Amino acid sequence: MHSNEFLSVSSEVAQALASNRPVVALESTIISHGMPYPQNVETALAVESAVRENGAVPATVAVIGGKLKAGLCAEEIEYLGKTGTRITKASRRDLAYLVSHGADGATTVASTMIIAAMAGIKIFATGGVGGVHRGAETTMDISADLEELAKTPVAVICAGAKSILDLGLTLEYLETKGVPVIGYGTDELPAFYTRKSGYKVDYRVDSEKELAQIISCNELPGAGGILITNPIPPEYSMDPERINAAIDAAVAESRALGIKGKETTPFLLAKVKELTGGDSLVSNIRLVLNNAGLAARTACEYCALKNKEEQICQGQ
């Protein structure tokens, strides 16, 4: 763990890290910007429960009162959910401003990775990562999540890149940045709401133990992150034609309205939810729970591996 006057780690998370017990970081943008109240709070608490049920300690991350927090209490999660989009959506560029002003921020994938790394948390579960937006060859709209994956050594477990993005260009960008894309039980990149995208991942892995071994070996100087993609459970996967039609319509409307930057993803997700009669939100919740379970089991394997290495070093 990095000592930092701006970092606040909950006692439960700090104790778990100090005793090499498994911890999983969780983002907070999904609470404030990802879905409406009270579903956002219910989902956040359910995700924390899924982490616990699979043997790890959850560390939901946010900026509260200018503190970079790893591990929120139920009241803080309720606050983020009720305040909703009035909370700043905080990526890397926002952290210094929010801390200096004693302000609040709901963390994206990028800023959650930063705070997790500061706290010493190696594994982070989310829904989907940001990526290269459609039309980025002219707009240059590329998520800071990809840059963070290139330089911050945290393993991000997700259901692929959000299917509102250009998945092919997102994979090309990750390759350029040296970020390995691993498929858990799949050779194909999942597309968030659906299990398939038509694009291949770099490597397929079929067990949590193997994921833990890769994470453990990703500790060379200058190592960046690892993107682990976990397909949505089959029973919650949406019909590709239906979801893609909704996404195309949402993208067209966002362009017509001139929506850009960090407002793009929340608008598109809300529009897709509207166009699918709420079915996309149900799928979103289920895939996040699925990722939290995999992240917790992987964290357990990672800690077991580290404990074994320590015993060997001590000659036990």
Question: What burial letters (b/e) apply to 268-290, b meaning 16+ CB within 10 Å?
Answer: bbbbbbebbeebbbebbbbbbbb
CA distances from 230 to 30, 184, 218, 283 (A): 18, 5, 19, 14
Q: Which two tokens stand for residue 217?
A: 């070996």
Q: Quick one: 177 exposed, middle or buried, by C-beta within 10 A (0-12, 13-18, 19+)?
A: middle
Query: How far is the C-alpha of 90 from the C-alpha of 150, rounded, in Å?
Result: 19
User: What sign has the CA pseudo-torsion 67, 68, 73, 76?
Assistant: positive
| Residues involved in catalysis | 27, 162
Query: How far is the C-alpha of 141 from the C-alpha of 129, rounded, in Å?
Result: 14
Cα 46 vs. chain centroid, distance in angstroms?
16
